[in-house]
Chains A and B, each alone.
Chain A
Amino acid sequence: MLPLLLGVAPLGLIVGVQAAAADLPAGVGAATGVTIYGASAQLAAIDLLGRGVSPMIVVATVAVINVRLALYSAAMAPHWARIGTAQRVASAYLLVDPSYAVGLDGYRRSTSVAEGHVRYLAAGLTLWVGWQALITVGMTIGARVPAGLHLELAVPLCLLALVAQRVDSRRGATAVAVAGGVAVAAHGLPLATGLVAGILAGAAVAARSTPR
C-alpha cells in the first residue's frame, strides 16, 4: 500500500497547491477530491472554475477526461458481477487509475473473487484516505510558501514529469506534443476550448497512428 501512496504523493500535493492558488470559495478545491476524485479532472475543474468558465463546460470537460474510467469499469465488470449493490457502489466510487491497476492485479493473484475484492477495497480505501490527506497538506504548503518562489510552477512541472515517465514511444510523444500545442494555440478561446481540444487532438493522434 505504501508504494501506492508514495507514487501518487507528488500529484496529490500538487492538486492541493493548485487548489490553494485558485480563486475559489473556501473548501471547493479540496472538495473536488471527494466529488470528482481523480487528479487530472480535479486539476481541470479547479483551473476552469478559477477562471470563471461556465459550469456546463466544467462538467463536460471533467466528463471527457474521465471517459477512460468507463473503460476501467467495463474491465472490472466480471469481478463485480456477484457483489451487493452497496459494495458495487463503493467499488465504483473508488475506481481511479492506481486503484484500477492495483485492483486488477489483485483479482488476478487471488484464489477467490471475495479475496480479490478485499484486496481491491483495501487498496482503494487506503488510496482515497491518503489522497484527501495529500490535498490538505498541499493546500497548507501552497498557502504558506512565499509567492516569490512561484510554487505554482511545480504544478505543470509535476504533470510533465508524469507524462515523461508514461510516454515512451514516438507516437506517444507526438500525441502529447499535439495535445500541448493545441491547448496553447487555442488557450485564448472561450469555453475551455483549448483544454478539451488539446485532449481530444492528442487522443485522436494516438489512435490514428496505432498500427492495425
Chain B
Amino acid sequence: MSAWLTIVAAGIATFALRFTPARLLAGRPVSARWEQALDFIGPAAFTALAAPALVVAPATATPALARLAAVVVTVAVARATRSTAAALAVGMPTFWLLAALAAAG
C-alpha cells in the first residue's frame, strides 16, 4: 500500500511542478546559470542512476572487464551514431561476448 501512496504522492508533486507555471520564473528572464543547472538535472540524474548500477553490487557479480568494455563501446557508438538503439545493440552483445569469454577462461 505504501508503495502505491508513494508513487501517487510523487505524481501529485510532479503535476504541481508542471501545472503551477512557475510564477516566479514566468515572464522573467531566467539567468543563464540557473537555466544551465536545470538543463543538466536530466543528464546528471541519468548518470547518477547509471553509475552505481554499474559499479556497486549486484552489478559486481558480473565480470568487471566485460562491464567496462560494454560502457566504453556503448558510449562510443552512441556518440558516433546518435542512436540509443544502435548503442545498446552493440553494447549488450559486447558484454555478453566478454562475459562468456571470462567464464570460459
Contacts and interface: CB of A to CB of B under 8 A. Distances in A.
Interface of A: 9-11, 24-25, 28, 31-32, 34-38, 40-41, 43-45, 47, 49, 55, 58-59, 62-74, 76-77, 80, 88-89, 92-93, 95, 97, 149-167, 172, 175-177, 179-184, 187, 194-195, 198-208, 210, 212
A97 B46 CA distance: 14
Given A70-B17, A210-B33, A55 B79 contact: no
Interface in B66-92: 67, 70-71, 74-75, 77-79, 82, 84-85, 87-88, 91-92
A75 to B, nearest CB: 9
A37 B74 CA distance: 26
A89 B95 CA distance: 44
B4 A180 contact: no
10 contacts: A35-B14, A66-B13, A71-B22, A153-B92, A157-B92, A162-B78, A187-B56, A194-B52, A206-B40, A207-B40
Given A161-B87, A166-B42, A206-B39, A153 B67 contact: yes
A37 B14 contact: yes
Contacts of B71: 157, 160
Question: Does more than half of chain B's interface fall in helix, strand or loop, or is it mixed?
Answer: helix
B46 A89 contact: no
Contacts, number: 274
Given A37-B14, A45-B6, A202-B43, 19 more contacts: A10-B88, A35-B7, A55-B9, A59-B13, A66-B18, A69-B17, A70-B20, A70-B21, A71-B25, A149-B96, A160-B78, A161-B78, A161-B84, A164-B74, A166-B43, A180-B47, A187-B56, A195-B48, A199-B41
A157 B3 contact: no
A63 B25 contact: no
B62 to A, nearest CB: 6
A67 B13 contact: no
4 cross-chain pairs, A with B, having the tightest CB-CB distances, nearest first: A35-B11, A202-B44, A198-B48, A180-B51
Given A67-B41, A71-B25, A156-B53, A62 B19 contact: no
A207 B10 CA distance: 26
Contact of B52 (A64, A187, A202): A187
Nearest to A38: B14
Contacts of B48: 179-180, 182-183, 194-195, 198-199, 202
B84 A62 contact: no
Contact of B95 (A80, A150, A177, A208): A150
A199 B21 contact: no
Given A10-B85, A59-B10, A187-B52, A175 B15 contact: no
Given A25-B4, A161-B74, A155 B36 contact: no
A165 B42 contact: no
Given A9-B85, A55-B2, A156 B51 contact: yes
Given A11-B84, A153-B67, A160-B50, A175 B17 contact: no
